[in-house]
Amino acid sequence: MAAIIWIDLLNSDWRDHRGQGRREDRLDRADWRHAFLQGLQADVSGLPEAPLKAGLRALRGVLRRNVERVVARGTAGGRSLGDLNRLLGRALLTRRVTLRAGSPRLEFVHHARGLDAALGEIAGSFASALEAGDLARIKICRNPDCGWVFYDRSRNRSRRWCDSSTCANLMKVRRFRLRRRGLRRRPRR
């Protein structure tokens, strides 16, 4: 899979993986929003900040509920899928065939503008992942302080942490320290 824009949106709700309780909603940062939205085919340049942030936050909530269901149950469905379909319905997409370098190519054409088009494209990327991807590969980091969503590309689908150099190492150190504390507290016989 290429860059996964729906995961980027989900992970815009940043939490300090080290357990210090810090949090940042990156949707509040204009530079982050600009970089994120720049890759979309939808033009949101004239939109006021408040509705743009509110729309992205609402979509992030819908995606989070869907991902939590996929991780917990191994399947999509329920009310959260209905919410996703409503967002996709606002996107107003059609398809057309164009020629590129003499080869036919299927393209999606946005008829919606602005926010609806942007939200539809992000929701569409998640819907494509549900359809084409292996749902067992969509995961949430097991570090309770992190909660990042990632797509597990490991061969045996066994990855549990968002990143081996941060959360995986941190959790290994925590487990080691807990074991060490347990050893020290045992009474000697």
Q: What is the pLDDT of residues 125-156, one digit of tens each?
A: 899 888 887 788 899 988 888 888 988 888 88
CA 124 to chain centre: 12
**Average pLDDT over the chain, rounded to an integer:** 83
The structural domain count of the chain equals 1
Q: Is the pLDDT of residue 89 over 50?
A: yes
Distances (CA, A) of 146 to 59, 100, 165: 20, 43, 13
Look at residue 162 in the predicted model and tell me its pLDDT. Answer: 82
Look at residue 12 in the predicted model and tell me its pLDDT. Answer: 94
pLDDT (average), residues 89-97: 82
CA quadruple 3, 9, 10, 11: dihedral, nearest 10: 80
Own/partner contacts of 179-183, CB < 8 Å, gap of 24 or more, are: none
Q: Tell me which range, 33-37, 155-159, 165-169, 176-180, is most confidently predicted by mean pLDDT.
A: 33-37
Cβ atoms of 14 and 23 closer than 8 Å: yes
What whole-number percentage of the chain has pLDDT above 90? 26
Give me the CATH number covering residue 99. 1.10.3300.10
Of 114 and 53, more confident: 53
Closest CA to 117 of 93, 138, 140, 101: 93
pLDDT tens-digit series, residues 37-56: 887 867 788 888 999 999 99
Look at residue 2 in the predicted model and tell me its pLDDT. Answer: 44
DSSP type of residue 3: -
Of 161 and 32, more confident: 32
Number of helices (H), then strands (E), belonging to the chain: the values are 6, 6
β-strands 23-25, 13-15: how paired? antiparallel
For residue 20, the enclosing domain spans 5-185
| One-letter amino acid for residue 149 of the chain | V
| One-letter amino acid for residue 92 of the chain | L
Look at residue 67 in the predicted model and tell me its pLDDT. Answer: 93
Distances (CA, A) of 42 to 49, 74, 92, 119: 15, 31, 12, 9
Q: Is the pLDDT of residue 63 over 90?
A: yes
Look at residue 179 in the predicted model and tell me its pLDDT. Answer: 78
CA distance 124 to 5: 10
